[in-house]
Structure 1
Amino acid sequence: MSKRSKSLRSRFRSAYERLNHTQRQVAQKSFCEAHHVTAGTFRNKMNGFTSLFEAEVDWMESYDPYAQPLTA
């Protein structure tokens, strides 16, 4: 595993782990919808089995569980 890849994974995991259990469930669902991936793919990304992209890490780092959802 490359240094950059490990760095992305650790950043992603740190951003995810700052959330409490309920917030993690909501964040995972939102992430899957935003990036068109399944829950299984999300778990693989968390565990380093599937590559992470900078945009995915940025999304998780900027995720705000207290932000109000946008209404149309």
Structure 2
Amino acid sequence: MMITDFNFGGVLLPGLLVIASGDFLCLLILLRFLAFSSTYRALPGRPLVNVAAFLILFALLKQGLNAMGL
């Protein structure tokens, strides 16, 4: 199933851009939680963890939205 474009007030946005934006917001929440719990400080290579978390969340959101039929 293909991800369709989203129409916001006559402006068409690619579906992957909308998913990536939602993913970025989820990532910010996740990183704030990790920083609050001081788990983030113990991780080696924090930029690599950021990219990996972004890609994992992106894949989960994309798969979940496809499973729901959106």
**Which TM-score bucket, shorter chain as reference?**
0.3 to 0.5
TM-score between the two structures when normalised by the length of structure 2: 0.40
Higher relative CO (CA 8 A, sep ≥ 6), structure 1 or 2?
1
